[in-house]
Structure 1
Amino acid sequence: MPEDPVLTSTLTCPSCGHEATERMPQDACLWFHECPGCRTLLRPRPGDCCVFCSYGTVPCPPVQRGTSCCG
């Protein structure tokens, strides 16, 4: 039986380095996140499905389970 996915990840802004721990949706991508530090709008890097996979300490739950979250 697969482990339950981790549902929180700490996003680090590439512009200012601000860190924010956020709860991740279990079955969807989060394509945008506004940095609370500098108001930069984070978007996934090319090849990543969401901001958690690009800037987080833990990838999104679908990726943790080995599935795609973006279709």
Structure 2
Amino acid sequence: MEIILKSELTCPNCGRQKVEAMPTEACQFFYECENCKTVLRPKEGDCCVYCSYGSVPCPPIQKNSGCC
């Protein structure tokens, strides 16, 4: 299975979307929206901002290796 390394994050506050490269060996817990400056944090039960707000979950989840 090929691991996807880019995900489109969508800000829940203003709706801005941006494709970002995901870290492969760590989770990203914070992400600041360039448009409205809202700092995104993972939703309860998710390990990172990509699992909560991205079009693709983070690489460790894609690999079924669990949360970072």
User: TM-score, structure 1 length as denominator?
Assistant: 0.92
SS in structure 2 of the partner of residue 6 of structure 1? coil
- Counterpart amino acid of residue 63 in structure 2: R
2:43 equivalent in structure 1: 45
- Counterpart amino acid of residue 35 in structure 1: C
Number of residue equivalences: 68
Q: Unpaired segments of 5 or more residues in structure 1?
A: none
Residue identity over aligned pairs, in percent, reads: 56
User: How big is the alpha-carbon RMSD for the aligned residues of Structure 1 and Structure 2?
Assistant: 0.8
1:17 equivalent in structure 2: 15
Q: Which runs of 4+ in 1 moved over 2 A?
A: none
User: TM-score, structure 2 length as denominator?
Assistant: 0.95
